């Protein structure tokens, strides 16, 4: 039985507005990152919004990404054959967490563990 008093991760972090702030700032920082910038050189201006919608859905929020973009299978197809290095993956996670700190995403260890997962 689900406890109705326990917020979803989406609610815990502050919802869509917070996710949009996070992804907007994150991709601003990506442009200045020597390891990640080349991967996102051709990123569309709407990419941060798409990522925010995807994260919202994954974290228990609205199903906007699935309705508008095809859900998780679409995201996987978009990222196949990118051939990311381990350094690039680690840098992506590290920069995302640094950005989460910057935009004041909750830093509770339980929440951060769930976010990274």
C-alpha dist (Å) from residue 53 to 20, 38, 64, 85, 109: 8, 23, 6, 25, 24
What's the predicted TM-score (pTM) here?
A: 0.84
Residue-range domains of the chain with CATH: 9-116 (1.10.490.10)
Mean pLDDT score, 99-109 = 91
38 versus 114: which is more confidently predicted? Answer: 38
Environment class of residue 1 by beta-carbon count within 10 Å: exposed (0-12), middle (13-18) or buried (19+)?
exposed
pLDDT value of residue 1 = 47
Contact 16, 56 (CB under 8 A): yes
């Amino acid at each position: 039985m689900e406890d109705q008093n326990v917020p979803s991760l989406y609610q815990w972090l502050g919802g869509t507005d917070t996710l949009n702030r996070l992804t907007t700032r994150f991709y601003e920082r990506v442009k200045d990152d020597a390891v990640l910038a080349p991967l996102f050189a051709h990123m569309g201006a709407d990419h941060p919004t798409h990522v925010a919608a995807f994260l919202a859905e994954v974290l228990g929020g609205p199903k906007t990404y699935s309705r508008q973009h095809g859900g998780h299978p679409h995201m996987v197809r978009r990222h196949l054959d990118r051939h990311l290095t381990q350094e690039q993956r680690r840098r992506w996670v590290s920069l995302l967490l640094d950005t989460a700190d910057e935009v004041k995403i909750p830093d509770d260890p339980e929440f951060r563990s769930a976010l990274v997962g």
